[in-house]
Structure 1
Amino acid sequence: MGNVKCDLLQVLASTHPNFPTWERIHLETSTMNKSITQSLWTIKSKILKLCLFLFLATMAFMGFHYHSINMNLVPSTVHPRTVESLYPYLIEEPSKCRGDPPFLLLLIPSMPQDVLIRDVLRKTWANESLVPGISIKRIFLLGRSFVNDTEVSVEQESSTFHDIIQQDFLDTYRNLTIKTLMGIEWVSRLCPRASYVMKVDGDMFFNPWFLVRQILQPEKPLKLEFFTGLVVRGAPFRNKDSKWYISYEMYSKNLYPYYCSGTGYVFSGDLSPRIYKEAKGMTIFPFEDVFLGICLERMGVHLSKSGGEWFIGERVEYNRCRFTKLVTVHHYSPDELLKLWPDFLKALGDCNG
């Protein structure tokens, strides 16, 4: 009815010059309101269509992005970085644990210039295919060298073997704790489903067969909160001339807690993120094995003492059958390892047959 009225008034106004002024004003106002309303509806319709298009386009992009990330770009073992690394990575190897997780991951501290040692270890006890049916991965832990040519050599070695991680701190003895924490942070973030982690020094004899078959026993349920090695306890050295000097400010107690010698220890993978989180809240000092012992004590994790003399922290002369029943022996040079290794491989069959 309102529209009919407006149309009738418009006819009267155009044909009768004396049409009342107030009616003429009402007519013009109604016509203007009608025009404005139509324009607003047109604008609203266009805005709604634009919003709908943007919404559908955004959902399509997000779906494609999610699919690309999960299917093509990120390895299945990569977890979000829950804690930041202590130093920036120079070499990170984010895809080392892509696919099925390893049963045993070897963390091997190494100095940038020790190319020969790494090469010998790859040919002997750090060979990833030594134990049949058991997935083993190795990672060498490096800091930064003082020498630019050495850094170039490390980059070339890394591109060949893809078994080196490196952060931007100077590779010195006093930074060994930082180097070890680098490895633990890497495991917790990029290899979180590794069953066990073995940290072992590069100047060791190491027997992965005995460790896997007699201690870790893959046929049995996974051990959780497990940490073992050569369990020791000692007192801080207060003599400033000592290589192992520690100040009262850095550690005030008269005895260290029980800890596993840094020459070689093994722990369950579930401890990696917990150890690193605990370490981030502590003052770091140089002796990584003691430092980890303090971390474990604060976490309430008890060390598992080995059932025999399986981890030896000093030099013992090679005995082929005895060495088949050990995990680690200290102070073996690359040349010695290369010489004894063929005989040791035979001893595994001769002495355990």
Structure 2
Amino acid sequence: MFMNWRRIRKWHFLRLISMCCVVSLLMVCWEHVDHHVVSHMKSYSYRYMINSFSFVNKSLSVSQEEAARFNSFPYLLNQNNVCKDKDVLLLLFVKSSPENFERRQAIRSTWGNESYVSHELGVILKVVFVMGVHTDVTNSFLLQDLHEEHKNYGDLVQQEFLDTFHNLTIKLLLQFRWMHENCAHARFMMSADDDVFVHMPNLVRYLQDLRRRNVRDHWVGHVHRGAPPIRSKNSKYFMPFDMYQWNSYPDYTAGAGYVISGDVAAKIYQATLSLNASMYIDDVFMGICAIAAGVSPQEHVYFSGEGRTPYHPCIYEKMITSHGHENDIRYLWKAATAPEVQGISSGLVGKLYCTAVKMMLLCKPYFSNTYSCMAAFT
């Protein structure tokens, strides 16, 4: 056997060049790699202690008097009898802002249409838009419009706190307090942003199955596991050490849209009565409350994270939520609930076709924070 020494030397040379390129790239991008890979690996390994022990809750525990300070804002708009004497399958809180009238209108006429859900799906849905006060508190026209909107629809709940990103946890407390006071008998509760699309027929079928099986301790959504606190002051999600000192957040679901059973809602409400709600990332605060309640989030591959899901009938057939729909909710509702969508993956050919389509749409090498690749096979 003869060896081609020239080819061997050429191969070694190419390998050396490749290694130099990789090392150079790592040197240039090391800060990015260290932040997004190494920190995630550290926090993911740390998450087991965070989720299993109570030291996080102890560090954030306050007296009931101090906790009440975060949950005692007076109501400016309210409707406290919408659930009275009704067998409510789902109480759905939509986190809105005073100026987002068009988004609320789109929801009322599509996936949040209570009459449609009652007549077509045969269950009772109650939609409540929760909000604080616009930062321009002197805007008399906006105040007048809100009162007129509430007079026409009776579905707004507003408290007297500024409606800002750093008060999202206050808005979370508002939801659990309002449910406790006015709709504690609802079988399930959902919290969603006002730019989220919810495929209500699919969600109702899912919840009806849970109700038939009498499922309890249920919290489902797009789960973040072992997420590290962001310590960069330039980030919207900056978390200072004096507010949260641990290397990992507890497991939590993306706040864009998640569902909990009624018994979990009651437990979370009780947890909020003794925790420091100055933790302004509401998703994370929900995870902290869940540790106190002894509840863990469950992943559902058709709950979206912060990303928008692809547009395709094979996706629509099983989708539950999709995030980032400020302007196209009406279009998506019409497309996703079209009769031809149902059964598109029936039969062997349909299953193979939709699996191939979803693999191309979802199994991508980069992170999109929407449905995982696993959704292609379910």
Q: CA deviation at 1:341?
A: 2.1
What CA deviation, in whole Å up to 9, does each residue of 1:43-84 have, x standing for no partner? xxxxxxxxxxxxxxxxxxxxxxxxxxxxxxxxxxxxxxxx89
Q: CA deviation at 1:296?
A: 0.3
Contact 1:102 1:136 survives alignment (8 Å): yes
1:305 to 299, 304, 308: 299
Q: C-alpha separation between the residues in 1 aligned to 2:210 and 2:218?
A: 14
1:190 to 179, 182, 186: 182
Match of 1:270, SS state, is: helix
Matches within 5 A, 1:203-282: 203-217=195-209, 220-233=212-225, 234-282=227-275
Q: C-alpha separation between the residues in 1 aligned to 2:321 and 2:213?
A: 24
Alignment of 1:323 with 2:309, yes or no, is: no
Q: State TM-score, norm by structure 2.
A: 0.67
Matches within 5 A, 1:114-133: 114-128=100-114, 129-130=116-117, 131-133=120-122
Pair 150,97 (structure 1): closer, same or farther in 2 beyond 3 Å: same
Q: C-alpha separation between the residues in 2 aligned to 1:101 and 1:180?
A: 24
Q: C-alpha separation between the residues in 1 aligned to 2:331 and 2:246?
A: 45
Q: C-alpha separation between the residues in 1 aligned to 2:282 and 2:142?
A: 25
Q: C-alpha separation between the residues in 2 aligned to 1:263 and 1:87?
A: 24
Pair 324,152 (structure 1): closer, same or farther in 2 beyond 3 Å: same
Residue type of the alignment partner of 1:164: L
Out of 139-148 and 206-215, give the one that drifted further. 206-215
CA RMSD of aligned residues (A): 1.9
Pair 194,143 (structure 1): closer, same or farther in 2 beyond 3 Å: same
Q: CA deviation at 1:216?
A: 4.6
Contact 1:204 1:331 survives alignment (8 Å): yes
Q: Which residue in the other structure is 1:154 paired with? A: 146
Give % identity: 31
Alignment of 1:164 with 2:181, yes or no, is: no
Q: C-alpha separation between the residues in 1 aligned to 2:270 and 2:292?
A: 11
Residue type of the alignment partner of 2:215: K
Q: Which residue in the other structure is 1:57 paired with? A: none
Match of 2:234, SS state, is: coil
Q: CA deviation at 1:271?
A: 2.1
Matches within 5 A, 1:51-130: 85-128=71-114, 129-130=116-117
Match of 2:265, SS state, is: helix
Q: CA deviation at 1:327?
A: 0.7
Q: C-alpha separation between the residues in 2 aligned to 1:216 and 1:176?
A: 30
Q: C-alpha separation between the residues in 2 aligned to 1:217 and 1:323?
A: 19
**Higher RCO (CA-CA < 8 Å; seq separation 6+):** 2
Q: C-alpha separation between the residues in 2 aligned to 1:316 and 1:349?
A: 18
Residue type of the alignment partner of 2:122: G
Q: Which residue in the other structure is 1:58 paired with? A: none
Residue type of the alignment partner of 1:239: S
Pair 299,340 (structure 1): closer, same or farther in 2 beyond 3 Å: closer
Q: C-alpha separation between the residues in 2 aligned to 1:271 and 1:90?
A: 27
Q: Which residue in the other structure is 1:135 paired with? A: 124
Q: C-alpha separation between the residues in 2 aligned to 1:219 and 1:272?
A: 15
Q: C-alpha separation between the residues in 2 aligned to 1:305 and 1:316?
A: 16
Q: CA deviation at 1:154?
A: 0.7
Pair 236,295 (structure 1): closer, same or farther in 2 beyond 3 Å: same
Q: C-alpha separation between the residues in 2 aligned to 1:317 and 1:304?
A: 23
What CA deviation, in whole Å up to 9, does each residue of 1:184-207 have, x standing for no partner? 110111001000011111111211
Structure with the greater alpha carbon radius of gyration:
1
Contact 2:317 2:342 survives alignment (8 Å): no
Give the length in aligned residue pairs: 268
Pair 352,237 (structure 1): closer, same or farther in 2 beyond 3 Å: same
Contact 2:202 2:318 survives alignment (8 Å): yes
Out of 141-150 and 251-260, give the one that drifted further. 141-150
Question: What 5-or-longer segments of structure 1 have no aligned partner?
Answer: 1-82
Match of 1:298, SS state, is: helix
Pair 240,218 (structure 1): closer, same or farther in 2 beyond 3 Å: closer
Residue type of the alignment partner of 1:158: H
Q: CA deviation at 1:281?
A: 1.3
Q: C-alpha separation between the residues in 2 aligned to 1:112 and 1:89?
A: 14
Match of 2:269, SS state, is: helix
Q: Which residue in the other structure is 2:133 paired with? A: 144
1:290 to 263, 279, 284: 284
Contact 1:316 1:329 survives alignment (8 Å): yes
Match of 1:282, SS state, is: coil
Residue type of the alignment partner of 2:292: R
Residue type of the alignment partner of 2:109: K
Q: Which residue in the other structure is 1:77 paired with? A: none
Q: State TM-score, norm by structure 1.
A: 0.72
Question: What 5-or-longer segments of structure 2 have no aligned partner?
Answer: 1-67, 347-378
